[in-house]
Amino acid sequence: MILETMINNFIASVTAGKDNSTPSSYESKLRHLKRYLGADRQTLTQTDIDQFRSYLLNRNSKRRGGKEVKGKLSKFTIRSVLATTRHFLKWSAKKGYIPQGIELENVKEPPAQPKAIQEITVEQLLASAAICGEEWERARN
């Protein structure tokens, strides 16, 4: 079975006809795999998957608004693409589309970057603390 058909079957199966953004999210994540290997690819090997992972980590361009621009993929993008690819590979092996054992083994994904608290949130927390006084401090501690 060709890769594009496998991906379409995967999305249809795991999203179970959902109308939310889940199907398009899976599609956008697996688009990286399709572009790298080619949509008409009929076989997958462990080497293909290992090279795909390396490609994501070392890529020096990304797509913005349909154009290729300079810059590395964000850590979030790499993590989510690898997680979706891992799910796709497990599903494909379970369905018999690919041989068992092709997976993203021992993948060290880039750590997620913590997001800073917005300034307004800090101000709201401090305002709440000022209102609650000692009782708030006891609850916090």
Q: For 25-32, what is the mean pLDDT?
A: 91
Instruction: State pTM to two decimals.
Output: 0.69
Q: For 8-22, what is the mean pLDDT?
A: 84
In one-letter notation, the amino acid at residue 129 is A
Other CB atoms within a 10 A radius of the CB of residue 102 amount to 19
Quickly state the pLDDT bin for 29 (edges 50, 70, 90): very high
**pLDDT over threshold 70, residue 100:** yes
**pLDDT over threshold 70, residue 106:** no
